[in-house]
Amino acid sequence: MLGGDLVAVWDVALSDGVYRIEFAHGTTTGKRIVYVNGQEAIRKDWLFKLVGKETFTVGAANTKATINIEAISGFAYEYSLDIDGKSLQKFTDNRAKTSKTWVLKVDGEDCRVVLEKDTMDVWCNGQKMDTMGEFVDDGTETHFMVGEHECCIKATNSGKKKSGIVHYLLLDGEKIPSSTQ
């Protein structure tokens, strides 16, 4: 697809899915092509300047992404990706604090459920879910359906200052282990 000019690939986990960003850079022509999940987002066939930035958006929330192109020496270049104004690493570390992800099988299909802790929005495979929240004795429960299955995200106080609130996903009453992305 990209030929010999592919210089960098990044995977970015957002609430509505994991996006693969591929960058092709023709260091002789200055050509720059950005692909998001295999779809061309930016194409510049001829650029005199070989260094610089390319900015585009990713995902349902149109999250801002910027690829930085820097010369390190002679004809060697370094490529880095910023998401939402932060380095990919910082963005990923921050998302680990502000969101929680579960990957599970429902009726044989892979599902990726993401809770945004600040808004309590729940996403499943790229769709924002209709949820119903309620207060219970030991915290809150956020209820939603995946197909014919009842799901509930329970938020309870861990009793530990460091971990604070703990979130569990229950599918038809069964606890689902959380995922790293």
Residues in the chain: 181
CA distance 148 to 82: 39
Domains 3-84 and 97-176 share a fold: yes
CA distance 17 to 60: 9
Digitized pLDDT (tens) for each residue of the chain, 181 residues in all: 445 689 999 999 999 999 999 999 988 888 999 999 999 999 998 877 888 999 999 999 999 999 999 999 877 899 999 999 999 999 999 998 999 999 999 999 999 999 999 999 999 999 999 999 999 998 999 999 999 999 999 999 877 777 678 999 999 999 998 876 5
Assess if CATH 2.40.128.180 describes domain 3-84.
yes
Say if pTM beats, i.e. exceeds, 0.75: yes
Domain residue ranges of the chain, discontinuous segments joined by +: 3-84, 97-176
Contact 141, 154 (CB under 8 A): yes
Residues forming beta bridges with residue 134, ordered by sequence position = 141
Residue with tokens 């949820």: 131
The architecture (CATH level 2) of 97-176 comes to Beta Barrel (2.40)
Contact 15, 114 (CB under 8 A): yes
